[in-house]
A and B are shown apart, each in its own frame.
Chain A
Amino acid sequence: MSTYNNGGFFNPAYHDSETLEIDKRSPNRSRHTNPYAGDSSGVRPDVYPTSELSRDTGRAPWGGRPEQSWDGGTGIPMDLLSTHPVNPAWRPEHSNMTMRWRGLTMKRMFQNSESNLPFADNAIMTQVENEEMNLVRDLVAMSTRDRVRAIRNLPMSFQEKKHIRNQVLALISSKKSRKSACLGDCSEQFSRSYRKCSSNVKSARQTLELWQGIMKEIGGKFGTSVLSYFVFLKWLLMFNIFSFLVNFGFITIPQLVYDQSPDKPANASFRGLELLTGAGYFNNTVMYYGSYSNDTLIGAVNYKMQLGYFFTIAAYMVFCGVVLIFSMANSFKTNYALADSTSSGAWQLLCSWDFSITNERAVRQRKNNLRIQLKESLSEKAQRKQLTTSEKLKHFGIHLGSWLLSTALTFGCVASIFFLCQYEQRRMSDSGSFSPLQEAETLLVPFVVSLMNMVVPLFFSLFNKFEHFSSQRRQIYALVLRNVLLRMCILGVLCYYWMNMVATKFSCWESVVGQALYRLVIVDFIFLLLGSFFGEFLSYVVGTRFLPRLGVPEFDVARNVLEIIYAQTLAWIGIYFSPLLPVIQILKFFILFYIKSLMRNCQPPRQTGRAAQMKTIFTALLFFPFFIGALSIVGYTAWSLTPSEHCGPFRGLNSTFTVVELWIGDVEEIPGSEWVVFIYQKIIRSEVFYFLITLIILVVVYIFWQVSQGRKQLIVLLRRQIVNEGKDKLFLLEKLQDLQKSQPNQRPKPKNKSKTKLHLEEFSSNGSSNSNAMVQVLLARQRAEEEEERERVRGLPVPVESTNLTHDRQQSSSNALALAMQARQRAESQTREEYYSRAGFTENHVNYQHRADEQEENSPTSVNSVMMQVMQARQQAEEEEEEELKRMQWVPAASQNPAPSSALIQAMLARQQAQNEYDDGY
Chain B
Amino acid sequence: MGTTASQLGKELLSEYQELTFLTKQEILLAHKRFTELLTKDEKDIPNVRIPMERILTLPELKSNPFRKRICLVFSTSEQKDGSLTFEDFLDLLSAFSDSATLEIKSHYAFRIFDFDDDGTLDFNDLQTLVNCLTGETDETRLTPEEMSQLINNILEESDIDKDGTVNLSEFQHVISRSPDFVSSFKIVL
- Interface contact B187-A69, CB-CB below 8 Å: no
- Interface contact A11-B163, CB-CB below 8 Å: yes
> What total of chain A residues lie within 8 Å of the partner, measured CB to CB?
96
Q: Which B residues are CB-close (under 8 A) to A69?
A: 116, 118-119
- Interface contact A157-B91, CB-CB below 8 Å: yes
Q: Which A residues are CB-close (under 8 A) to B17?
A: 199
- Interface contact B23-A58, CB-CB below 8 Å: no
Query: A193 CA to B184 CA in the complex, in Å?
Result: 34
Judged by a CB distance under 8 angstroms, whether B134 is at the interface is yes
7 contacts between A and B (CB under 8 A): A11-B122, A59-B169, A153-B104, A355-B187, A356-B188, A358-B59, A611-B183
The chain B residue with its CB closest to the CB of A63 is B119
- Interface contact A378-B177, CB-CB below 8 Å: no
Nearest 10 CB-CB pairings of A with B: A7-B164, A726-B161, A8-B122, A4-B164, A69-B118, A612-B179, A65-B119, A158-B87, A335-B179, A371-B134
Query: A58 CA to B177 CA in the complex, in Å?
Result: 17
Q: Which B residues are CB-close (under 8 A) to A886?
A: none
Judged by a CB distance under 8 angstroms, whether B24 is at the interface is yes
Q: Which B residues are CB-close (under 8 A) to A338?
A: 176-177, 179
- Interface contact A61-B133, CB-CB below 8 Å: no
- Interface contact A157-B169, CB-CB below 8 Å: no
Which of B25, B26, B104, B119 is in CB contact (< 8 Å) with A155? B104
In the complex, what's the smallest C-beta–C-beta distance from A159 to chain B, in angstroms? Answer: 6
Judged by a CB distance under 8 angstroms, whether B11 is at the interface is no
- Most chain A CB neighbours (cut-off 10 Å) among B114, B142, B165, B184: B184
In the complex, what's the smallest C-beta–C-beta distance from A160 to chain B, in angstroms? Answer: 9
**Given the known A-B contacts A153-B101, A374-B134, are A206 and B25 also in contact in the complex, defined by CB atoms under 8 Å?**
yes
Q: Which B residues are CB-close (under 8 A) to A378?
A: 146, 149-150, 153
- Interface contact A355-B186, CB-CB below 8 Å: yes
The chain B residue with its CB closest to the CB of A922 is B169
Judged by a CB distance under 8 angstroms, whether A792 is at the interface is no
The chain B residue with its CB closest to the CB of A70 is B118
Q: Which B residues are CB-close (under 8 A) to A7?
A: 162-165
The chain B residue with its CB closest to the CB of A725 is B161
In the complex, what's the smallest C-beta–C-beta distance from B112 to chain A, in angstroms? Answer: 9
Docked complex: B111-144 residues within 8 A CB-CB of A: 111, 114, 116-120, 122-123, 129-130, 133-135, 140, 142
Query: A148 CA to B181 CA in the complex, in Å?
Result: 25
Judged by a CB distance under 8 angstroms, whether A596 is at the interface is no
Binding-face segment, B38-46, B49-57, B62-70: B62-70
- Interface contact A350-B19, CB-CB below 8 Å: no
- Interface contact A381-B163, CB-CB below 8 Å: no
Judged by a CB distance under 8 angstroms, whether A29 is at the interface is no
Query: A779 CA to B112 CA in the complex, in Å?
Result: 32
Q: Which A residues are CB-close (under 8 A) to B60?
A: 358
Docked complex: B14-28 residues within 8 A CB-CB of A: 14-15, 17-21, 23-26
Query: A501 CA to B158 CA in the complex, in Å?
Result: 60
A-B contact sample (10 more), CB < 8 A, given A203-B25, A611-B184, A730-B161? A11-B167, A72-B118, A199-B17, A224-B180, A339-B179, A347-B178, A350-B130, A355-B187, A356-B187, A378-B150
Docked complex: A135-180 residues within 8 A CB-CB of B: 148, 151-153, 155, 157-159, 161-162, 165
- Interface contact A152-B24, CB-CB below 8 Å: no
The chain B residue with its CB closest to the CB of A148 is B18
Query: A374 CA to B164 CA in the complex, in Å?
Result: 21
Query: A367 CA to B114 CA in the complex, in Å?
Result: 20
- Interface contact B87-A355, CB-CB below 8 Å: no
Which of B104, B117, B134, B172 is in CB contact (< 8 Å) with A68? B117
Chain B interface: which size bin? Answer: 35 or more
Judged by a CB distance under 8 angstroms, whether B34 is at the interface is no
The chain B residue with its CB closest to the CB of A225 is B180
Judged by a CB distance under 8 angstroms, whether B160 is at the interface is yes
Judged by a CB distance under 8 angstroms, whether A579 is at the interface is no
Q: Which A residues are CB-close (under 8 A) to B168?
A: 58-62
**Given the known A-B contacts A4-B155, A352-B181, A378-B146, are A203 and B24 also in contact in the complex, defined by CB atoms under 8 Å?**
yes
Query: A12 CA to B118 CA in the complex, in Å?
Result: 8
Query: A611 CA to B177 CA in the complex, in Å?
Result: 13
- Interface contact B103-A153, CB-CB below 8 Å: yes
The chain A residue with its CB closest to the CB of B148 is A2
Judged by a CB distance under 8 angstroms, whether A597 is at the interface is no
The chain A residue with its CB closest to the CB of B95 is A155
- Interface contact B157-A158, CB-CB below 8 Å: no
Which of B19, B111, B149, B172 is in CB contact (< 8 Å) with A165? B19
In the complex, what's the smallest C-beta–C-beta distance from A96 to chain B, in angstroms? Answer: 16
Which of B23, B59, B88, B180 is in CB contact (< 8 Å) with A348? B180
Interface residues of B (CB under 8 A from A): 14-15, 17-21, 23-26, 59-60, 62-66, 74, 76, 87-88, 90-91, 96, 101, 103-104, 107-111, 114, 116-120, 122-123, 129-130, 133-135, 140, 142, 146, 149-150, 153-155, 157-165, 167-169, 172, 174-188
Docked complex: A328-382 residues within 8 A CB-CB of B: 334-335, 338-340, 343, 345-348, 350-360, 363-364, 367-368, 370-371, 374-375, 377-378, 381
In the complex, what's the smallest C-beta–C-beta distance from B133 to chain A, in angstroms? Answer: 5
Judged by a CB distance under 8 angstroms, whether A28 is at the interface is no
In the complex, what's the smallest C-beta–C-beta distance from A350 to chain B, in angstroms? Answer: 6
- Taken residue by residue from 63 to 84, chain A's Cβ proximity to chain B (1 for < 8 Å, 0 otherwise) reads as 0011011001000000000000
The chain B residue with its CB closest to the CB of A161 is B19
- Interface contact B176-A58, CB-CB below 8 Å: no
The chain A residue with its CB closest to the CB of B58 is A358
- Interface contact B184-A354, CB-CB below 8 Å: yes
- Interface contact A371-B135, CB-CB below 8 Å: yes
**Given the known A-B contacts A203-B23, A356-B187, A726-B162, are A613 and B179 also in contact in the complex, defined by CB atoms under 8 Å?**
yes
Query: A464 CA to B9 CA in the complex, in Å?
Result: 60
Q: Which B residues are CB-close (under 8 A) to A223?
A: 184
Q: Which A residues are CB-close (under 8 A) to B149?
A: 378
- Interface contact A919-B180, CB-CB below 8 Å: no
Query: A4 CA to B124 CA in the complex, in Å?
Result: 10
Query: A561 CA to B79 CA in the complex, in Å?
Result: 50
Q: Which A residues are CB-close (under 8 A) to B18?
A: 148, 151-152, 165
Judged by a CB distance under 8 angstroms, whether A722 is at the interface is yes
Query: A196 CA to B18 CA in the complex, in Å?
Result: 10
Query: A357 CA to B153 CA in the complex, in Å?
Result: 27
- Interface contact B184-A355, CB-CB below 8 Å: yes
Q: Which B residues are CB-close (under 8 A) to A610?
A: 180
Which of A354, A371, A616 is in CB contact (< 8 Å) with B140? A371
- Taken residue by residue from 1 to 23, chain A's Cβ proximity to chain B (1 for < 8 Å, 0 otherwise) reads as 01111111011101100000000
Q: Which A residues are CB-close (under 8 A) to B118?
A: 12, 65-66, 68-69, 72
Judged by a CB distance under 8 angstroms, whether A57 is at the interface is yes
Query: A921 CA to B59 CA in the complex, in Å?
Result: 40
Judged by a CB distance under 8 angstroms, whether A202 is at the interface is yes
Judged by a CB distance under 8 angstroms, whether A648 is at the interface is no
Query: A72 CA to B122 CA in the complex, in Å?
Result: 15
Query: A579 CA to B174 CA in the complex, in Å?
Result: 48
Q: Which B residues are CB-close (under 8 A) to A4?
A: 122-123, 155, 164-165
Q: Which B residues are CB-close (under 8 A) to A357?
A: 63-64
Docked complex: A713-743 residues within 8 A CB-CB of B: 719, 722-723, 725-727, 729-730, 733
In the complex, what's the smallest C-beta–C-beta distance from B22 to chain A, in angstroms? Answer: 9
- Most chain B CB neighbours (cut-off 10 Å) among A60, A155, A378: A155
In the complex, what's the smallest C-beta–C-beta distance from B81 to chain A, in angstroms? Answer: 13
Query: A356 CA to B20 CA in the complex, in Å?
Result: 19
**Given the known A-B contacts A353-B133, A378-B149, are A729 and B163 also in contact in the complex, defined by CB atoms under 8 Å?**
yes
Query: A133 CA to B133 CA in the complex, in Å?
Result: 42
Judged by a CB distance under 8 angstroms, whether A832 is at the interface is no
- Interface contact B24-A358, CB-CB below 8 Å: no
Docked complex: A172-208 residues within 8 A CB-CB of B: 196, 199-200, 202-203, 206-207
Q: Which A residues are CB-close (under 8 A) to B187?
A: 355-356
Query: A857 CA to B176 CA in the complex, in Å?
Result: 55
In the complex, what's the smallest C-beta–C-beta distance from A210 to chain B, in angstroms? Answer: 15
Q: Which A residues are CB-close (under 8 A) to B161?
A: 722-723, 725-726, 729-730
